[in-house]
Structure 1
């Protein structure tokens, strides 16, 4: 195969002016990453699913969504916050809000759970009151019905766990709740769920109660960290209300909790997640599913805030969570929380820990905050914007090739096996995260790739975003034969 001369570097030429496999790199030359436009949540009605503990609310939510999204377990009280999911039925989009068990006599953390359910009811356009048909209406169900009758919102009574026709006879007594016709369903088996969704759509008002400014949709931010570092407290401080259940007991949050937050004049979608204790593979039960939801929340986010307890030494779990975010390719902000508890000695110790354990992520945006006092909360928005600008940034192929030509001339790749590899062409193939592709005559060692990544950041300002360096090695003619 003959080598053909290419155009000059500004048009994407190789550093030596030639490249035999033009088709190998042509697809990478100034390719614009395509992203789906996020659908605006403006005008989308909200359905709240409420009821006492362990009547099958989360199972019903999963059935209505058509996917396993909410964490489900036989143990009562798994869902504690109000958790929103996007749903579609017969071409109409709406939001389902799953809630914890509603109990007017609850105390401690469960009183907060009940408060979250009541907030969900107040913000909803329609409400599903879920009752266990096998048990019938309890005193708690009747108390909930009394509150809902005054809510001035459409309320549908769902008689759950009606697995066959024989159980339908027990449904009639739920008329006594005074909320109209009860709808028999089996959340576990799907019986009656389609008819229920039809009724839900009919119950929605023409205009939803709450509207959020649209545009392309708010940027998605995930709050992650190990248990009890203050993620839910941070979300509550940002929202300005008790949006997530907070308790001194670690592991209070199980499902990801999302909220629209106005910060520094811009609306963001923040997602609070379950604290990650250990690797997903070694977690079990509710913790396993919560870990999966947290991992999915990171994948769905654009930028991740890793919250670290600044008052205590860095742990292996902190480092593992940061590594998980980097592997996911999301923009990164590290927020050291509880800064109000950090004295001068602890600050010096923390700096040493960062120099020792986080030397590979010096590029991450860093903010020292206090969810308790609100200290430096205003600095989060600028850090998020800078991280996202890096994540979205694209450098032209001409500039990259001019840059790498200078780098290689000053410090060429190391000799390996008696041969020195030549970098003949480079381009940024993708954004989100930025991906630098090098076309080389041979293997490029990991140390030199890290060197190029560091210089790439310094030269073009990729602070706050991971950068991936990919090497494409040109096959020799003898290898092709």
Structure 2
């Protein structure tokens, strides 16, 4: 695994432009919670409203398990659409935790979009949810889903019996009636959303992706950091299927944590909801600035663990390794764990390691300083003068090895970009891999860069007239 990237750009002009990705401050928008019992088409309706297949959909109940927020707009009004898992008041186990998330979403929303399957009519489960919604005193818009044609309209009209207002016939699959439904949602939105939001830093909160293979404790860690059950946790691997964004305030700073589905070993063999969940995990990493990779250190490091770390490094994101379930380790396991790190993760020895227990909260307070260190170094820049002064001393003490009978020279160096730090070396010849790794190691020793990958590139300068001489008629005759 390489933790640096080297590009050879012979004769190319220097046109790198350093730039930081812009972040727009999130405005406080009204929230619409989409609730209903399992498999009534909530996620399909969410996809219809936002105009793209973002929410995971599969024709089995229980695919959505957490509260997942999406940006949406209608008639020029922006709002946040929250997809939820199936809500059954009499559920137990994992289904009960999913239902609690749905109820929490409804209680904290400005408008509730209650989705009912018109083809089955009203059920006892629907009536039980209605009783809870009445107690919330929130505006409720009733969506009679799966009404694909005129003959099915009478089925929708039967839903008047729920006693929460007019049912709006809609087909999430085909889009029929979705405009009228959104008009009803629009009319129910408050003029000014009376919701409080956490203060955000200029440019928005820093974005942290929680990554790891299934069942290593990502959702447990997020709930521990938030101080409440924000996402569903269950011993069954693969509970989380969507990337869940949560704003969490820690130490007076607001962070945006992105809980993700576990990355599985064989992506090509995945089907249905797990396939789309893995795709969204990659997207979550692209949106993040720093990745916290959780490792279940009570077990030997797995191939998936190494591959996830490699994926983070290749993406150029800052990296923190969170060794979870540390409280379960005895002295023997700790000894062998260090051997595994030396053997399998030596290339990312620069990444901060935090030994934690998401279940008990052990050393959770050390995680944020490690994240801050990684982000600070991810943003770090070395001035050109300081960099070249340092490089001159380095090369004088340890010059590049001879290659092809000639010793390449490093003429000049500059830091072309940050996020992550990227350096360009202008040389007269190719630098061997070992020497580039030596430069990176010394950069880390002398300037820090803990928690961030470093990218090194070379630009090999050809001798003046060499290119023209190669193709000249005189040169051809001499050969």
Q: TM-score, normalised by structure 2?
A: 0.91
Q: Determine the structure 1 residue equivalent to 2:103.
A: 118
Q: 1:422 matched to which residue of 2?
A: 409
| CA deviation profile, 1:355-407 (whole Å, cap 9, x unmatched) | 11111101101100011111111111111110000111111222222222222
Q: Would the aligned equivalents of 1:127 and 1:155 in 2 still touch at CA under 8 Å?
A: yes
Query: Partners of 1:72 and 1:194 in 2: how far apart?
Result: 21
Of 150, 164, 184, the residue aligned with 1:179 is 164
Measured in 2, the distance between the counterparts of 1:342 and 1:75 equals 39
The 8 Å contact of residues 20 and 419 in structure 2, kept in 1 or not, is answered as: no
Shift of 1:475: 4.3
Q: Which runs of 4+ in 1 moved over 3 A?
A: 88-92, 475-481
Match of 1:373 in 2: 360
The alpha carbon displacement at 1:279 in A equals 4.1
Q: Distance in 1 between matches of 2:23 and 2:341?
A: 37
In 2: Cα distance, 1:400 partner to 1:284 partner: 50
Please point out which of 68, 74, 77 is paired with 2:62. 77
Question: Contact 2:200–2:254 at 8 Å: present in 1 too?
Answer: no
Match of 2:425 in 1: 438
Gapped regions of structure 1 (runs ≥ 5): 1-19
Higher deviation after alignment, 200-209 or 251-260: 200-209
Selected match of 1:101 from 83, 86, 100: 86
Distance 1:362 1:203 in 2: 54
SS in 2 for 1:173: helix
| Preserved contact between residue 46 and residue 208 of structure 1 (Cα < 8 Å) | no
* CA distance in structure 2 between the partners assigned to 1:91 and 1:432 by the alignment: 35
- Is 2:76 the partner of 1:87? no
In structure 1, the residue matched to 2:198 is 212
**1:445-460 superposed matches below 5 A:** 445-460=432-447
Contact in 2 for aligned 1:221/1:271 (Cα 8 Å): yes
Alpha-carbon separation, structure 2, partners of 1:453 and 1:339:
31
What per-residue deviation string (whole Å, max 9, x for no partner) do you get for residues 342-364 of structure 1?
12221111111111111110110
- State which of 177, 180, 188 in structure 2 corresponds to 1:203: 188
TM alignment of 1:66-465, pairs within 5 A: 66-205=51-190, 206-215=192-201, 216-465=203-452
Q: What is the deviation of 1:243?
A: 1.3
Matched, 1:40 2:29: no
Rounded to whole Å, the distance in 2 between the matches of 1:395 and 1:197 is: 52
Q: Could you tell which deviates more after superposition, 277-286 or 211-220?
A: 277-286
Asked if structure 2 preserves the Cα contact closer than 8 Å seen for 1:123 and 1:210, the reply is no
SS in 2 for 1:105: coil
String of CA shifts for 1:13-46, please: whole Å, max 9, x gaps: xxxxxxx97x822x34xx44132123224x2211
CA distance in 2, matches of 1:284, 1:459: 48
SS in 2 for 1:291: helix
| Residue number in structure 1 paired with 2:13 | 24
Indicate how the Cα distance of structure 1 residues 195 and 407 shifts in structure 2: closer, same or farther if over 3 A, else same: farther
Task: Compute the displacement of 1:304 (Å).
Answer: 0.7
1:177 and 1:399, CA in 2 relative to 1: closer, same or farther beyond 3 A? same
Deviation digits for residues 43-97 of structure 1 (CA, Å, limit 9, x no counterpart): 2211111111111111111111112111111111111111122223344332211
Question: When the two structures are aligned, how many residues end up with a matched partner?
Answer: 457
Deviations 1:296-323 (A, max 9, x none): 1111111111001121111111111111
Please report the TM-score for the alignment, with normalisation by the length of structure 1: 0.91
Query: Relative to structure 1, is the Cα distance of residues 420 and 46 closer, same or farther in structure 2, using a 3 angstrom cutoff?
Result: same
| 1:304 partner SS | strand
CA distance in 2, matches of 1:340, 1:149: 45
Please say if residues 433 and 465 of structure 1, whose CA atoms lie closer than 8 Å, have aligned partners that are also in contact. yes
Question: SS of the counterpart of 1:97?
Answer: strand
In the alignment, the residues of structure 2 paired with residue 83 and residue 292 of structure 1 have an alpha-carbon distance, to the nearest angstrom, of 16
Q: Structure 1: how far apart are the matches of 2:24 and 2:266?
A: 30
- Residue 477 of structure 2 corresponds to none
Residues 439, 185 of structure 1: CA spacing in aligned structure 2 closer, same or farther, 3 A cutoff? farther
